[in-house]
Structure 1
């Protein structure tokens, strides 16, 4: 084992664990639900600002890459390239979200998550570059659970756009 690699366990060499398999499946489910909502909202597409379309596009890229990063071999060239794209799309999504405001033009609680992502994505990348596998894995899982899945879930209730498109009304 490379002496610079920190926190590597036997599990790292075996592949994804149950949590990573579940997170990959949940990312695909979230992506599918978002795509269904987008298709159902076709009649309103023209009134949606470009900043929202960009947000949706970057989030879909992130969701699509998540299972590939979690399920396939790690640490190789393809994982690094997909990881940089994933990190870039997460960062773009978080920065873009700062330009999406509610009807009153104010920031909401969800914008705190954007600030968290802007801080944590560099932590994720630096942990990988420093071969700190344990920190990289914890950070990736935290971002996937909190910034992708939980935040993604909350785009559907409370009269938000995707919920409006998915459920009508």
Structure 2
């Protein structure tokens, strides 16, 4: 394992990766808290900000291009930003069931699903895990 591939990457990739990793860790903490507690809300807003920055920072990453400078990750990022708004509106409307379901699906898709693709051969996180 070596962090040098990540540390030698562009600043936008570093921000993207470090906030995604932090969001995974924060997710574990949020899922252990009582729903609706002050800590859950505070951590939830922090998580939301992290995920929004992760999604927005992806628009500065152009390693996989399919349509001009855009790739599949950019479609996912736009969807993530849309879903953040939908899920936050559900919470504010006291539709906790929709909020909880939406946030769990967002976590699975945006962090677990998209995160798994970062470990494919040739990608930076693959190089980090395998030592380059």
> Do the structures match in fold with TM over 0.5?
yes
Structure 1, unaligned runs of 5 or more: 1-36
Does the Cα contact within 8 Å between 2:13 and 2:61 map onto a contact in 1? yes
Alpha-carbon separation, structure 1, partners of 2:31 and 2:17:
21
Q: How many residues align?
A: 130
**Match in the other structure for 1:84:** 45
Moved beyond 6 Å, runs of 4+: none
TM-score, normalised via structure 1 length? 0.71
TM-score, normalised via structure 2 length? 0.89
Alpha-carbon separation, structure 2, partners of 1:70 and 1:165:
27
Alpha-carbon separation, structure 2, partners of 1:53 and 1:76:
32
**Match in the other structure for 1:146:** 109
Does the Cα contact within 8 Å between 2:19 and 2:51 map onto a contact in 1? yes
Residues 33-78 of structure 1: CA distance to partner in whole angstroms, max 9, x if unpaired? xxxx5xx132x45531111111112112211110111121110111
Alpha-carbon separation, structure 1, partners of 2:64 and 2:51:
24
Structure of greater Rg: 1
Alpha-carbon separation, structure 2, partners of 1:117 and 1:124:
10
Pairwise CA RMSD: 1.8
**Match in the other structure for 2:87:** 124
Superposed, which structure 2 residues align to 1:11-160 within 5 Å? 40-42=2-4, 44-45=5-6, 47-102=8-63, 106-160=69-123
